[in-house]
Chain A
Amino acid sequence: MGVNLENLNPKVHQKIDERQLTDFDENEDVVDAFDEREIFDLIRNINDPEHPLSLEELSVVDQSLIEIDNVKNYVNVQFTPTIPHCSMATLIGLSIRVQLLRALPPRFKVSVIVTPGTHVSEQAVNKQLADKERVAAALENSHLVAVINQCVSEKE
């Protein structure tokens, strides 16, 4: 790493503040549904496969591009590759998918797509990420799983 970076000087963005917990959040008696901010918190610290930066710092993920419906049980996430021909797009999308599959209850249908108009192979990447059979096969590949685990593990 570091030698053949596709995007040598990515724009680094400001991180948002930590979420402030309220009394309401800590009250165990109220059912508090998942919201966009919680989904964002689950994926903002995923590491970029190339840079020592988080997906949030590279503006690959953004809270405004997350949609969740607790009644219909779906989560839709759009991610924005740093450059339109990023070869890591599928891997980044897969990392987001894996993180959400592991963290959310199984009732949720998770869809991860490229923000429209931000990647040259947008359709091919989206189709690959939506194919659960290919995702399942990829997750049986121990080398790939090791790379993804490295991406999703939070740095100190």
Chain B
Amino acid sequence: MTSIKLIQTLQGHRGRVWNVSWHPKGKYLGSCGEDKTIRIWINDGTKWITKMILAEGHTRTIREISWSPCGNLIASSSFDSTVAIWELKSGKYECTVSLEGHENEVKSVDWSNSGELIATCSRDKSVWIWERNDDEYECAAVINAHVQDVKKVRWHPNEDTLASASYDDTVKIFKEDSSDSDWNCVATLASHTSTVWSLSFDNTGSRIVTCSDDKNLKIWQEYKPGNDTMIPTPDNISVWKCVCTLSGYHTRTIYDVDWCKKSGLILTACGDNTIRIFREELDSDPNQPTFNLIASNEDAHSQDVNAVQWNPEQPGQFASAGDDGNVQLWFNSD
């Protein structure tokens, strides 16, 4: 087993912290929660401190925040049914735009790799795609593919392909049809037996890890048309198959999962207060991979862990958010 070492506990939020998100360069950490604020933390050389507090952008809980790939913009999704865009202007993030349209709570938000698209999803069962042209944001698609509350949206690491996870127990994949620029559901990943809370692509984008209220983690593999494993791909569309289920490790709902793009390690946030790290076994068959638990911290937070995210630049460093009101910074090493 490798070790998980606590670097620092970051206090400041009042009430539950729902999410943590790293700046693309890994220098800043953002967090948000029940207190309707976003906090931006930086390392002042010896410890992490609050650099900025972004308030008055939302009237209800801020569920999730996402940094644009350039780092100059933050999008925040709120139970107040709006998404706010915060822009870096002379050293400060200011709320410049509010995206309206969802009928109720916006659960998740994510910028595409190009920085030109934003995806949002809501309890109103829809997924929206917004196009950014400088300071203008326009709704490019409203997708009603799920039959229940949509919990999470995540873009592919390199392409304009979107994945969403829902209370209807499925994950769906969406792509734009170049002929009519409609966004269509190209795959439904069904196997979980309860709410899928979160998902994360690996660095290639050809695999996805999902986590659920059914206490399982699942690894899904994309099989493209003409794949050499003879898996049929009707209509020349990729097929996604569940190639691994990790059962018996988590004792309560798994609220978040993050697949490190650098190390390949998988990190989970669980309702049993525990953070766990999984690693794929060397020489694992990609069509039947084996993942092992390599580290865990059972009392990572004193209540549910809601979110975990690897620092995109500093291997081994990651952040977590909990119902106990804390944000924590950790380091994982061999």
Q: Which residues of A contact B (CB under 8 A)?
A: 106-107, 109, 127, 130-134, 136-137, 140
Contact = CB atoms under 8 A, between A and B. Distances in A.
Interface in B177-228: 194-195, 213
Given A127-B195, A140-B79, A133 B303 contact: no
Contacts of B194: 127
B123 A134 contact: yes
A131 B34 CA distance: 16
Contacts of B172: none
Contact of A131 (B16, B79, B195, B304): B195
A106 B302 contact: yes
A136 B61 contact: yes
17 contacts: A106-B302, A106-B324, A107-B302, A109-B252, A109-B271, A127-B195, A130-B213, A131-B213, A133-B63, A133-B107, A134-B149, A136-B34, A136-B79, A137-B61, A137-B79, A140-B60, A140-B79
B128 interface: no
Given A127-B194, A127-B195, A134-B149, A107 B107 contact: no
Contacts of A127: 167, 194-195, 213
A67 B292 CA distance: 34
Contacts of B323: 106
B105 interface: yes
Contacts of B34: 136
Contacts of A132: 304
Interface residues of B, number: 24
Contact of B123 (A107, A109, A137, A140): A137
Contacts of A133: 63, 107, 151
Contacts of B303: 106-107
Interface of B: 16, 34, 60-61, 63, 79, 104-105, 107, 123, 149, 151, 167, 194-195, 213, 252-253, 271, 302-304, 323-324
A52 B131 CA distance: 54
Contact of B105 (A106, A109, A130, A137): A137
A156 B60 CA distance: 35
A140 B149 CA distance: 17
A140 B61 contact: yes
A130 B271 CA distance: 11
A60 to B, nearest CB: 25
A20 to B, nearest CB: 34
Nearest to B197: A133
Nearest to B15: A136
A34 B33 CA distance: 30
B146 to A, nearest CB: 15
A131 B194 CA distance: 11
Contacts of B104: 137
A71 to B, nearest CB: 14
Across the A-B interface, the 5 shortest Cβ-Cβ residue pairs: A137-B105, A137-B79, A140-B60, A106-B303, A140-B79
A137 B194 CA distance: 20
A109 B167 CA distance: 21
A133 B197 CA distance: 10
Nearest to A74: B252
Contacts of A140: 60-61, 79
B271 A131 contact: no
A90 to B, nearest CB: 14
Contacts of B149: 134
A107 B273 CA distance: 10
B261 to A, nearest CB: 26
Given A106-B302, A106-B324, A136-B61, 20 more contacts: A106-B303, A106-B323, A127-B167, A127-B195, A127-B213, A130-B213, A130-B253, A131-B167, A131-B213, A132-B304, A133-B63, A133-B151, A134-B149, A136-B16, A136-B79, A137-B79, A137-B104, A137-B123, A140-B60, A140-B79
A137 B81 CA distance: 11
A100 to B, nearest CB: 14
